[in-house]
Chains A and B, each alone.
Chain A
Amino acid sequence: MTASIVLDRVTKTYGGAPAVDDVSLEIGAGRFVTLLGPSGSGKTTLLMMIAGFVRPTAGRILADGRDITAEPPERRAFGMVFQGYALFPNMTVAENLAFPLTLRGRSKAAIAQDVARMLDIVHLSGLGGRYPRELSGGQQQRVALARALIFNPRVLLLDESLSALDKNLRAGLQEELRDLHARLGTTFVFVTHDQEEALSMSDEIFIVNKGRIVQSGSPKALYDRPRTRFVAGFLGRTNFVDGTVTARDGETLVYSAGGLSFRQRARDDAPAVAVGQPVLIGLRPETLRLGEAAGGAANSVPGTIDLVTYEGADYHVRATTPLGPLQAIVASGNGTPVPARGDRLTLAWGEDAAVVLADDR
């Protein structure tokens, strides 16, 4: 059982200030969707409205095409994993899991069977008699997940559910969540401020800022083709280059920055910039090639390395250039020469490698 969710021009204001401002979005049935944004962006308010804990000031919310805007949370029957888990401290793990089933009037035998099956799925068999406070953070997280899933909800909502856990535990649970999603086919709506988590887990990401959806799409589409400075800066690392357009050559923009001239392919969806106007270019660190000469790339800039950070799989290099400091990432594996502080070199990139961004500062 799985459901699609549609938000139709939803607004929520608190004392006049909009927390969510005229948001419309569609979540397909069975998808794993992430609402990603900084704290205070309105992403949690969005989730709370989907869950039914917050009533929108305006707009409609639909589940499988049916208007549920006025329905209380208990009627929606969406599973929800809260930030901080919200396990019932006065009940054991098994009683926590049994809670939604008891409410639905299921028989004792059926409940016991389901609880055992669910504990097995989240790898907590044998811990049913414990109280939540006797469990580790990761275990509590799994109990919360199991409790939210045990009554076969149509939609599972997760609020910053992994944020409190340490990095290794988090990676493990991310994998488990994706396995569960694949196995159950339930619609997952996940809220997080952690961009890596969003990239690695979702089918689709909605980026939320200041109460609005600023961009949405598959993780790869968002990462490769951010449309604004905010998205480029929030999702992954980006070098920003401020230039001035000097000419237009079909699809290609020619712009000057730091006294040099560069070429950049501008796609149809890129913000329109006229000759003589300022332009903002976003350049991913891993698209920069480091070498002694330009090597036929469309764009190159001379630089001096002033910082090298070894990260195992790659080196993070910062170079001083006429464009200001530029970040580059170089794989450390395949016999590349080790970059060192003080090296003079050329940083090069193709005219397709960067993106033209709207400056939404």
Chain B
Amino acid sequence: MIADLDPRTRAVYLVLLVAPLVLLAGLYLYPLSRVLWLSVTVPTPGFGNFERLFTSDAVQRILWTTGKLCVLTTALALLIGYAIAYAAVHLPGWRGELFLFFVLLSFWLSVLVRAFAWLTLLQSRGLVNTALMQLGAIDAPLPLIRNEFGVVLGMVHYMIPYAALPLYANMRGIDPRLVPAARGLGAGPVRAFLRVYLPMSLPGLISAGILTFIFSLGFYVTPALLGGGKTIMIAEYIAVQINDTLNWGLGSMLATTLLLAIFVLLALMAFFVDLRKVFGVK
């Protein structure tokens, strides 16, 4: 391609190509490699930091919490996202579009705004607890934040659009006559869904699942605010190591672990689906 062009145009193309690469390398890849480097050099050279993955109770507890909450968040976001996408695709006319609009609406709200909104709603003297107490349903405020419940709630709320949109794209491609066809052949509504619709929407579920899970793994703001320092996930823990305890070696080791875990996940998923399709490249 480039070889066919005259030298001047070629030079312009090359500059346009190389400039963003240089920018990326300087501002992104170099700092990233420094972080990776820190993880094996600070405080002493070697894999001492990585040993703590297997020896430190604190680190293992954080990893366990992160994994558990991310799986839970992904499962719930997929379930709710599936229902929303299904409704958006199958409701006639403007009703379906309305569903989609609400999904996109939460996309446009800053993650901070949403986390603080949950805080206002869920804290001890927040709207929910006050209302319940005035109704006499409870005597003491329910613990709705500063625990795993609050973190998962906030994360699921944030992740729903990321689950719903790939599912919506997938479901739009499913022939709407397939379920009636199955019904006509003798399948009840449940069996028609399980045998025909669900298998057809599986690629969408996998795409949405990867996306949500990876996003959840590195989630910082919502867990930090709604966990209130009690329920701590890996991103917040890393931030504490870097900013507060200045334990850069441990922090960068966990960052590296997170990055590697995501790569491993993607590699695993590549066995089942075409990743280029998942990320919309193809």
Contacts and interface: CB of A to CB of B under 8 A. Distances in A.
A100 B185 contact: yes
B62 interface: no
A84 B177 CA distance: 9
B183 A72 contact: yes
A151 to B, nearest CB: 7
A74 B184 contact: yes
Nearest to B188: A74
Given A88-B196, A90-B200, A51 B186 contact: no
A351 to B, nearest CB: 51
A99 interface: yes
Contacts of A147: 185
A52 B187 CA distance: 13
Interface in A37-96: 51-53, 72-74, 77-80, 82-84, 86-90
B200 A78 contact: no
Contacts of B199: 90
A104 B187 CA distance: 9
B201 to A, nearest CB: 10
A82 B182 CA distance: 11
Contacts of B267: none
A16 B185 CA distance: 31
Interface string A236-272: 0000000000000000000000000000000000000
A83 B178 CA distance: 11
Contacts, number: 63
A103 interface: yes
Interface in B191-209: 191-192, 195-196, 199-200
Contacts of B178: 86, 88
A53 B200 contact: no
Contacts of A80: 180-181, 184
Contacts of B195: 99
Chain B CB within 10 A, most for which of A72, A88, A89:
A88
Contacts of B192: 74
Interface size class of A (residues with CB under 8 A): 20 to 34
Interface in B120-179: 175, 177-178
Contact of A100 (B175, B186, B200): B186
Nearest to A104: B186
Interface size class of B (residues with CB under 8 A): 10 to 19
A147 B185 CA distance: 8
A74 B181 contact: no
Nearest to B177: A86
A103 B186 contact: yes
Nearest to A80: B184
Contact of A86 (B181, B187, B189): B181
A103 B185 contact: yes
Contacts of A82: 177, 180-181
A148 B183 CA distance: 12
Given A88-B196, A90-B200, A53 B180 contact: yes
Nearest to A150: B185
Chain A CB within 10 A, most for which of B177, B183, B184:
B184
A73 B175 contact: no
Contacts of A53: 180, 183-184
Contacts of A104: 186
A73 B187 CA distance: 9
A151 B186 CA distance: 9
Contacts of B188: 72, 74
B180 A99 contact: no
A147 B178 CA distance: 13
A88 B180 CA distance: 11
Contact of B191 (A73, A89, A103): A103
A88 B179 CA distance: 9
Nearest to B181: A86
Nearest to B178: A86
Interface in A276-314: none
Contacts of A151: 185-186
A268 to B, nearest CB: 43
Contacts of A77: 186
A153 to B, nearest CB: 9
A151 B182 CA distance: 13
B187 A103 contact: yes
Contact of A74 (B177, B183, B200): B183
A74 B177 CA distance: 14
Nearest to A14: B92
Nearest to B175: A86
A103 B175 CA distance: 21
18 contacts: A51-B184, A73-B180, A73-B183, A74-B183, A74-B187, A82-B177, A82-B180, A84-B175, A86-B175, A86-B177, A86-B180, A88-B181, A99-B185, A103-B186, A103-B191, A104-B186, A147-B185, A151-B185
Given A52-B183, A53-B180, 19 more contacts: A51-B184, A53-B184, A72-B183, A78-B184, A79-B184, A79-B185, A80-B180, A82-B180, A82-B181, A84-B175, A86-B177, A87-B181, A88-B181, A88-B196, A99-B187, A103-B191, A147-B185, A148-B184, A151-B185
Q: Across chains A and B, which 6 residue pairs bring their CB atoms closest together, nearest first?
A: A86-B181, A86-B177, A100-B185, A80-B184, A73-B183, A103-B186
